[in-house]
Amino acid sequence: MTQGDIPAYELVRLQLVDVSPTPLNPRRNFGTTEELARFGEELRAAQLAACVAVSRDVYLTLWPDHEDHVGGAKYVLVNGERRYRSACQVGLEALDFVVRDELAASRETFINHLLKENLDRADFDIIERARGINELVAVCAEESERGARARAADHLGKDRSWVTHQLSLLELPEEIQAMLSSGDLPERDGRFLVRHVRDNQGLSAAELLQVLKQEKARQSAEREAERTLLAEARNRTENAVERTDRQAPAPQPPVADATEKTSGSPTPVVGAGEMAAGKEPNTRQSRAPQETGAVGQQSTVPVQNKEGRSAVAPTRAVIELGSVDQVAEALADHLSAEELMELAERLMERADSKVDA
């Protein structure tokens, strides 16, 4: 305010008998008698927002035909009619006002401000809004009918198509408009009926409601059909997965070739010690093959890892049975020096246990 960016308005206390509402206000629903009385008592305790008015002479310069409506009032209400009506309901004699004659600089300016004050209100129903927009378009058309809706859209900060959609609701029968105002009929249903009215002129409100009922039944049937198709597709997919799982072969255990080294642990050998002694491997899970001269089948052999814990590892060893030299050479081809040393230590332990026995 110090910089002059925000104008300062003088707050004045006006007697309500000196103020007249404007008939141009698109708002018609101000609440029930009980709601007005409750709000009036709140105003009696404290008025949080001032009402806005313009001087009588400035207003009648724009709308001289409203003189009878204004009567002897010195001011015309621009914003705050609900506060005005609530105060009258509980018998208050005066309210706080700011007088802003610049809002009546032109018809467009006045209607634009009147409408903007209500557009964002939660209780400003869609038909009231459409009527207010229609009034703004009408005053814009006084200058030029061409582009009137575009100018109204510019005033409201909206798109021209939005203005057109709002005005289309006023093409519906009064009974349908009343249902839209009360909230008994959603705005999307009103838009559907507008499209139907344009293609089918002269339909009554009852006929339009019947059309709407049929349309909703059709949409409901379509949604149900879509749900059925989705359920069937889901069942087919689940059945196909189950069949695939049943037909899939059981996974086979991995086969490790004796030439592959296992990182961090010695390569297990099938009964190496026992074969070197010409005996059958000491394990229940594997048996030496019946063919003389070689060990060449997969087996599961208990071995010890470096930590001394027992482990069971599948392996496949191909070792020619023969002299000790032949066994040693075969093992040397498959084991590292470290693994050979560990195997030698185990064989020595076995030899010692046999000597002790």
The answer to whether 317 and 334 have CB atoms below 8 angstroms apart is: yes
Distance between CA atoms of residues 168 and 134, nearest Å: 10
Instruction: Report whether 41 contacts 84 (CB < 8 A).
Output: no
User: According to the model, what pLDDT value does residue 245 have?
Assistant: 72
**Is there a contact between 279 and 260 (Cβ–Cβ < 8 Å)?**
no
Question: Phi and psi at residue 158, in whole multiples of 5°?
Answer: -120, 170
Q: Which amino acid, one-letter code, is at 184?
A: D
What's the pLDDT score for residue 233? 83
User: The tokens of 298 are what?
Assistant: 């997969």
**Single-letter amino acid code for the residue at 332:** A
Question: Which residues are CB-contacts of 63 (< 8 A; sequence separation ≥ 6)?
Answer: 24, 107
Q: What is this structure's pTM?
A: 0.50
pLDDT score, position 18: 96
Computed on alpha carbons and rounded to an integer, the radius of gyration of the chain in Å comes to 48
Eight-state DSSP code of residue 18: G
Residue 54: how many other CB atoms lie within 10 Å: 23
Other beta carbons less than 10 A from residue 82's beta carbon: 18
Strand boundaries in the chain, DSSP class E: 11-15, 19-21, 51-55, 75-79, 94-99, 294-295, 298-304, 310-316, 319-320
Q: Which residues of the chain have pLDDT under 50?
A: 1-2, 258-320
Contact 137, 166 (CB under 8 A): no
Contacts with 300 (C-beta within 8 Å, 6 or more apart), sequence order = 283, 285, 286, 312, 313, 314
